[in-house]
Amino acid sequence: MVTREEMKGHWNEVKGRLQEHWSQLTDDDLQHFRGSTNELIGVVQRKTGATRSEIEKLLGDILGEGEALSNRMSDAAQRYIGDASDYAKENYDRYSDATRDLSRQVVENVRRRPGEAIAIAFGAGLIAGALFFMGRRR
Protein backbone atom coordinates (compact mmCIF):
# COMPACT_ATOMS: atom_id res chain seq x y z
CA MET A 1 0.00 0.00 0.00
CA VAL A 2 1.25 3.47 -0.89
CA THR A 3 1.80 5.73 2.13
CA ARG A 4 0.45 9.23 2.58
CA GLU A 5 3.99 10.67 2.76
CA GLU A 6 5.00 9.02 -0.52
CA MET A 7 1.86 10.34 -2.19
CA LYS A 8 2.36 13.90 -0.94
CA GLY A 9 6.03 13.90 -1.89
CA HIS A 10 5.29 13.03 -5.51
CA TRP A 11 1.79 14.48 -5.88
CA ASN A 12 2.32 16.46 -9.11
CA GLU A 13 3.82 13.43 -10.81
CA VAL A 14 1.10 11.11 -9.47
CA LYS A 15 -1.66 13.47 -10.54
CA GLY A 16 -0.22 13.88 -14.03
CA ARG A 17 0.25 10.15 -14.53
CA LEU A 18 -3.27 9.37 -13.27
CA GLN A 19 -4.73 11.89 -15.71
CA GLU A 20 -2.55 10.48 -18.48
CA HIS A 21 -3.76 6.94 -17.73
CA TRP A 22 -7.41 7.90 -17.19
CA SER A 23 -8.15 10.96 -19.29
CA GLN A 24 -11.59 11.39 -17.75
CA LEU A 25 -9.96 12.49 -14.45
CA THR A 26 -9.91 16.26 -14.12
CA ASP A 27 -7.91 18.56 -11.87
CA ASP A 28 -11.14 19.22 -9.99
CA ASP A 29 -11.63 15.48 -9.36
CA LEU A 30 -8.14 15.16 -7.92
CA GLN A 31 -8.26 18.46 -6.04
CA HIS A 32 -10.35 16.85 -3.30
CA PHE A 33 -7.52 14.47 -2.42
CA ARG A 34 -6.38 15.32 1.11
CA GLY A 35 -3.46 12.96 1.53
CA SER A 36 -5.48 9.78 2.08
CA THR A 37 -4.61 7.03 -0.35
CA ASN A 38 -7.98 5.37 0.26
CA GLU A 39 -9.77 8.61 -0.54
CA LEU A 40 -7.82 9.02 -3.77
CA ILE A 41 -8.50 5.42 -4.80
CA GLY A 42 -12.21 5.98 -4.09
CA VAL A 43 -12.30 9.11 -6.29
CA VAL A 44 -10.52 7.32 -9.13
CA GLN A 45 -12.80 4.25 -8.81
CA ARG A 46 -15.98 6.36 -8.92
CA LYS A 47 -14.81 8.39 -11.89
CA THR A 48 -13.19 5.61 -13.97
CA GLY A 49 -14.67 2.31 -12.81
CA ALA A 50 -11.14 0.90 -12.34
CA THR A 51 -10.54 -1.74 -9.68
CA ARG A 52 -8.76 -0.96 -6.44
CA SER A 53 -5.88 -3.32 -7.28
CA GLU A 54 -5.43 -1.72 -10.71
CA ILE A 55 -5.23 1.75 -9.15
CA GLU A 56 -2.87 0.57 -6.39
CA LYS A 57 -0.61 -1.09 -8.98
CA LEU A 58 -0.43 2.09 -11.05
CA LEU A 59 0.30 4.20 -7.95
CA GLY A 60 3.02 1.77 -6.90
CA ASP A 61 4.55 1.89 -10.38
CA ILE A 62 4.47 5.69 -10.44
CA LEU A 63 6.05 6.03 -7.01
CA GLY A 64 8.60 3.30 -7.74
CA GLU A 65 9.73 5.20 -10.82
CA GLY A 66 9.86 8.41 -8.79
CA GLU A 67 12.00 6.71 -6.16
CA ALA A 68 14.32 5.29 -8.82
CA LEU A 69 14.65 8.73 -10.41
CA SER A 70 15.31 10.26 -7.00
CA ASN A 71 18.03 7.65 -6.35
CA ARG A 72 19.66 8.32 -9.73
CA MET A 73 19.61 12.06 -9.08
CA SER A 74 21.11 11.54 -5.64
CA ASP A 75 23.87 9.37 -7.09
CA ALA A 76 24.62 11.97 -9.77
CA ALA A 77 24.73 14.73 -7.15
CA GLN A 78 27.18 12.68 -5.06
CA ARG A 79 29.42 12.20 -8.11
CA TYR A 80 29.34 15.93 -8.87
CA ILE A 81 30.17 16.75 -5.26
CA GLY A 82 33.09 14.31 -5.38
CA ASP A 83 34.34 15.78 -8.67
CA ALA A 84 34.04 19.34 -7.34
CA SER A 85 35.88 18.36 -4.18
CA ASP A 86 38.69 16.75 -6.19
CA TYR A 87 38.92 19.80 -8.45
CA ALA A 88 39.05 22.18 -5.46
CA LYS A 89 41.74 20.10 -3.76
CA GLU A 90 43.90 19.93 -6.90
CA ASN A 91 43.67 23.69 -7.44
CA TYR A 92 44.25 24.42 -3.77
CA ASP A 93 47.43 22.33 -3.86
CA ARG A 94 48.60 23.98 -7.07
CA TYR A 95 48.00 27.55 -5.85
CA SER A 96 49.43 26.73 -2.45
CA ASP A 97 52.64 25.54 -4.10
CA ALA A 98 52.78 28.63 -6.34
CA THR A 99 52.23 30.95 -3.37
CA ARG A 100 54.89 29.16 -1.34
CA ASP A 101 57.37 29.51 -4.23
CA LEU A 102 56.59 33.19 -4.65
CA SER A 103 57.02 33.80 -0.91
CA ARG A 104 60.43 32.11 -1.00
CA GLN A 105 61.48 34.30 -3.92
CA VAL A 106 60.39 37.47 -2.12
CA VAL A 107 62.24 36.48 1.04
CA GLU A 108 65.36 35.62 -0.96
CA ASN A 109 65.24 38.95 -2.85
CA VAL A 110 64.83 40.92 0.39
CA ARG A 111 67.83 39.09 1.92
CA ARG A 112 70.00 39.77 -1.12
CA ARG A 113 68.98 43.42 -1.57
CA PRO A 114 67.57 44.84 1.68
CA GLY A 115 68.09 48.48 0.63
CA GLU A 116 66.11 48.09 -2.57
CA ALA A 117 63.36 46.22 -0.70
CA ILE A 118 63.03 49.06 1.82
CA ALA A 119 62.95 51.66 -0.98
CA ILE A 120 60.27 49.73 -2.87
CA ALA A 121 58.16 49.30 0.28
CA PHE A 122 58.54 53.03 1.07
CA GLY A 123 57.51 54.00 -2.47
CA ALA A 124 54.53 51.66 -2.41
CA GLY A 125 53.47 53.16 0.93
CA LEU A 126 53.67 56.70 -0.46
CA ILE A 127 51.58 55.79 -3.48
CA ALA A 128 48.99 53.97 -1.36
CA GLY A 129 48.78 56.93 1.05
CA ALA A 130 48.40 59.42 -1.79
CA LEU A 131 45.62 57.36 -3.37
CA PHE A 132 43.89 57.03 0.01
CA PHE A 133 43.93 60.78 0.71
CA MET A 134 42.87 61.65 -2.85
CA GLY A 135 39.95 59.30 -2.50
CA ARG A 136 38.87 60.87 0.79
CA ARG A 137 38.81 64.36 -0.73
CA ARG A 138 36.15 63.32 -3.23
pLDDT tens figures, 91-137? 998 999 999 999 999 999 999 999 999 999 999 999 999 999 988 88
Domain count, the chain: 1
pLDDT tens figures, 14-46? 778 888 888 888 887 777 666 677 788 888 888
**Does residue 74 sit within a domain?**
yes
CATH number at 69 reads 1.10.1470.10
**Does residue 108 sit within a domain?**
no
Top pLDDT among 26 and 63 is at 26
**Does residue 84 sit within a domain?**
yes
pTM given for the model: 0.41
Query: Residue type at 37?
Result: T
- Domain range enclosing 57: 4-101
Residue 6 and residue 27: Cα distance in Å, rounded?
20
**Does residue 39 sit within a domain?**
yes
Q: What is the CA radius of gyration of the chain?
A: 34
Distance between start and end Cα atoms, the chain:
73
